[in-house]
Structure 1
């Protein structure tokens, strides 16, 4: 592919993780266009034709323009939702934009995706993650998904201690509209009350662990980082207390992670593991579009380089 072929980065403006990769591509002289579908149609224009040669035309932002036929790679990060506003017409327009612009961005001929948005969507569901992980030889703590309070109480009694995890970390606000985060929490046996029946809940046996691990995978390049120092169950609540150390993943975990990526058709994945007191690694989940830029530069830079390599090479 021509050296002038651009890399398309699909994400919002305030994405520090994408910034690191874009910066690395700029240092190499690779042309990059950043596009947020949430800016369509106010700041993004679209004219693409389809014929025997495939899609071609023009996608433009305020500062850049590209022909979809020339894109070498797509780094699909965290775009904002398509604008909708209120009312039926606005929602209809957002649906048309999602299937029009979104459909074109997901079907660029010859482009290498990290990751393809449809593969991301498939791999975001935790039940699918757990099922695939076990088939790939990765250890998963005993887990229950239910909306039956009596089954939840039984699981807590038999497997305790047990933690609760959200099945999806979507937007959530309290009654006053303030943004809220649902953290991983211990589940006392008497807390599995009638509220469980209102939706699906995930309960998981709490691992008696020595440390946590975030393993960032870019194709066959794996970057396992041991995380120590968390005083609580959910280390994401205690960044100021954490220490990081690059470690080697056990061979069975390496095999399992690579098989997992293959099963979902992923190039990138951010895996969370716990290391038991016996040294065995247990997989909690894999975010197909997870963060890694908060690590110190000596840890995050190799990940940015690996992603830039992949995007520059186009596969």
Structure 2
């Protein structure tokens, strides 16, 4: 008899990666409840109690109901934020915080649930300085990096380690002439540094003389490594110029990746590395909510099946 416990998939309406995972789970007769927390409370409602029995209750979408005490796994992707446009600014701010700490707190506290990944652990792992420090602790090679708001410190760093690049510490979406845009990774020189650096925190890093990049997708204990060849500083700026080759990780890298994952309490991670001319892999970052399915379509690596195994709790 099949296990009736559902998998909750928390993401936006338009998420092709979630679509393929849900399709795979349906093929396995695994019940799925898909929801976007941004739909609360218009078309998503919750009735949760915390008693001596623990947390229990129901979550309702327009087409499904989930028993909160019997959720098999929660796949946390990229839900939209809470919004209350019909309220004035102060009331909307209050309502958003109540929704976040109410519904968000319930979804983060499901008993016996496997989180891929837990939203709080995602938040912890998104701090780049923390990720770089843990990568060093795990034994991975990390480029010299500076986080600063001091123009003088930035100039000294570039003199010592140049060529250097600038990276945003977090990349919110900007609207430029109504079009979504992001701040790009760019090479910088001392001449580019002015007093505006003092306005906030910035990340500068020694530029690795790379010959290729590697995206490593870790799903549970499964590790999928894909070499990405291009002539781009940041391969994510033009996917049409990329070519892909499945590769094996250097000796000692896989245990280091699991050390990193265990530190942050993750079961999924998308790691980026730069390969230098000597074949060494330099850790750049780990995205706990990174994209991965396009690599399966390019290489045939069975990542969707691995993720479905994890959510089904076969592994």
**What runs of 5+ residues in structure 2 fail to find an aligned partner?**
none
Q: Is 1:259 aligned to residue 259 of structure 2?
A: yes
Instruction: Identify the residue that residue 131 of structure 1 maps to in structure 2.
Output: 133
Which stretches of structure 1, 4 residues or longer, exceed 3 Å deviation after superposition?
298-301
Q: Which digits, 9 at most, give the CA deviation of each residue in 1:55-84, with x for residues without a partner?
A: 222111111111101101000111111114
Instruction: Identify the residue that residue 144 of structure 1 maps to in structure 2.
Output: 146
**Normalising by structure 1, what TM-score?**
0.96
Q: Is the 8 A contact 2:296 2:303 kept in 1?
A: no
- For residue 295 of structure 1, report the CA deviation from its aligned partner: 2.1
Instruction: Identify the residue that residue 223 of structure 1 maps to in structure 2.
Output: 224
Following superposition of structure 1 onto structure 2, how do residues 263-282 of structure 1 map, counting pairs within 5 Å? Answer: 263-282=263-282
Mean CA deviation greater in 305-314 or 29-38? 305-314
Instruction: Identify the residue that residue 188 of structure 2 maps to in structure 1.
Output: 187
Instruction: Identify the residue that residue 99 of structure 1 maps to in structure 2.
Output: 101
Aligned partner of residue 23 in structure 1, secondary structure: helix
Following superposition of structure 1 onto structure 2, how do residues 7-46 of structure 1 map, counting pairs within 5 Å? Answer: 7-46=7-46
Q: Is the 8 A contact 1:72 1:314 kept in 2?
A: no
Aligned partner of residue 173 in structure 1, secondary structure: strand
Q: Is the 8 A contact 1:73 1:314 kept in 2?
A: no
Q: Distance in 2 between matches of 1:296 and 1:217?
A: 13
**Normalising by structure 2, what TM-score?**
0.96
Instruction: Identify the residue that residue 6 of structure 2 maps to in structure 1.
Output: 6
Aligned partner of residue 133 in structure 2, secondary structure: helix
Q: Distance in 2 between matches of 1:51 and 1:158?
A: 59
- Alpha carbons of structure 1 residues 291 and 216: separation in structure 2 relative to 1, 3 Å: same
Q: Which digits, 9 at most, give the CA deviation of each residue in 1:252-286, with x for residues without a partner?
A: 21121011001111100000000110011000000
Q: Distance in 1 between matches of 2:301 and 2:105?
A: 32
- For residue 173 of structure 1, report the CA deviation from its aligned partner: 2.9
**What runs of 5+ residues in structure 1 fail to find an aligned partner?**
none
Instruction: Identify the residue that residue 196 of structure 1 maps to in structure 2.
Output: 197
Instruction: Identify the residue that residue 215 of structure 2 maps to in structure 1.
Output: 214
Aligned partner of residue 283 in structure 1, secondary structure: strand
- Alpha carbons of structure 1 residues 301 and 91: separation in structure 2 relative to 1, 3 Å: farther
Mean CA deviation greater in 76-85 or 23-32? 76-85
* RMSD after superposition: 1.5
- Alpha carbons of structure 1 residues 94 and 314: separation in structure 2 relative to 1, 3 Å: farther
- For residue 54 of structure 1, report the CA deviation from its aligned partner: 1.8
Q: Distance in 1 between matches of 2:142 and 2:41?
A: 44
Q: Is the 8 A contact 1:111 1:314 kept in 2?
A: no
- For residue 169 of structure 1, report the CA deviation from its aligned partner: 1.3
Q: Is the 8 A contact 1:4 1:30 kept in 2?
A: yes
Following superposition of structure 1 onto structure 2, how do residues 231-250 of structure 1 map, counting pairs within 5 Å? Answer: 231-250=231-250
Instruction: Identify the residue that residue 67 of structure 1 maps to in structure 2.
Output: 67
Aligned partner of residue 9 in structure 2, secondary structure: strand
